[in-house]
């Protein structure tokens, strides 16, 4: 069974907060829905069940998210990442003796190359982590629903990796719902793949929920 993990390559010692955005919704006979998205981890970097984003020596650009730890593999010697702006090298980030860089906090503009101008050259695409959320019934965005209506959590545009762990933070009149006993729904410490497959196709059940206002927020697991 595949091991769940936290945001791929994010340094758990890092105290930097990842922004979470919420969606608000309410139940009037019914839930009014308000949704916030979370900002947090081409061709994606290699996916593995550890705390590193594995970067290979390859032609296609590989995604790097702010806050990740990087492990470089297949390169000759100690790796250096060059940041280029308008064709000029603005900075160089050198890996440690294990060819690792921790807690990436680089500008998201410009171009990044591992082993620049060598046979091992590989391009990186540096991005802020994003967990956009929309609440839908069918294909229609909603701001309120009738009680017991099934809802879709639309995560289109999310740039995390499938095995990254997130929380779907749902707060209503009775506080946060971490586990929905009535509908047997788990909302904490779930993978991105589980979030999209469990709740992405009118699969989130609201049977038994208290009438009132709810906020839905997608956040990376701390």
> Please, which pLDDT band fits residue 39 given cuts at 50, 70 and 90?
very low
154-165: per-residue pLDDT in tens?
Answer: 999 899 888 888
Closest CA to 113 of 90, 96, 132: 90
Tell me, what DSSP letter sits at residue 52?
S
Output the pLDDT for position 221. Answer: 73
Q: Is the Cβ–Cβ distance between 12 and 41 less than 8 Å?
A: no
Give percent above pLDDT 90 in the chain. Answer: 60
Output the pLDDT for position 162. Answer: 86
Q: How far is CA 131 from CA 42, 88, 89, 120, 161, in A?
A: 18, 32, 31, 32, 11
Across the chain, what does the average pLDDT equal?
Answer: 83
Output the pLDDT for position 25. Answer: 52
198-214: per-residue pLDDT in tens?
Answer: 999 999 999 999 999 89
The domains located in the chain, with CATH, are 20-40+129-220 (no CATH), 53-127 (2.60.40)
Choose between 71 and 35: higher pLDDT: 71
Checking if the pLDDT of 136 tops 50, the result is yes
Output the pLDDT for position 144. Answer: 87
Checking if the pLDDT of 23 tops 60, the result is no
Checking if the pLDDT of 73 tops 80, the result is yes
- Whether the pTM exceeds 0.85: the reply is no
């Amino acid at each position: 069974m595949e091991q769940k993990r936290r945001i791929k390559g994010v340094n758990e010692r890092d105290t930097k907060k990842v922004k979470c955005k919420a969606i608000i919704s309410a139940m009037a006979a019914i839930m009014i829905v308000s949704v916030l998205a979370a900002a947090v981890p081409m061709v994606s970097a290699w996916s593995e069940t550890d705390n590193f984003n594995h970067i290979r020596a390859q032609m296609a650009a590989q995604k790097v998210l702010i806050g990740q730890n990087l492990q470089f593999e297949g390169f000759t010697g100690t790796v250096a990442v060059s940041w280029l702006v308008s064709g000029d090298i603005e900075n160089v980030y050198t890996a440690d003796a294990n060819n690792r860089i921790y807690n990436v906090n680089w500008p998201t503009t410009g171009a990044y190359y591992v082993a620049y101008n060598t046979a091992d050259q590989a391009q990186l695409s540096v991005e802020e982590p994003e967990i956009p959320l929309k609440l839908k019934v069918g294909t229609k965005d909603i701001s309120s629903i009738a009680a017991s209506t099934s809802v879709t959590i639309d995560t289109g545009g999310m740039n995390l990796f499938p095995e990254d762990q997130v929380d779907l933070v749902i707060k209503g009149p009775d506080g946060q719902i971490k586990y929905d006993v009535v509908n047997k729904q788990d909302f904490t410490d779930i993978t991105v793949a589980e979030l999209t497959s469990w709740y992405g196709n009118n699969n989130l059940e609201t049977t038994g929920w208290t009438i009132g206002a709810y906020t839905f927020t997608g956040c990376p697991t701390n």
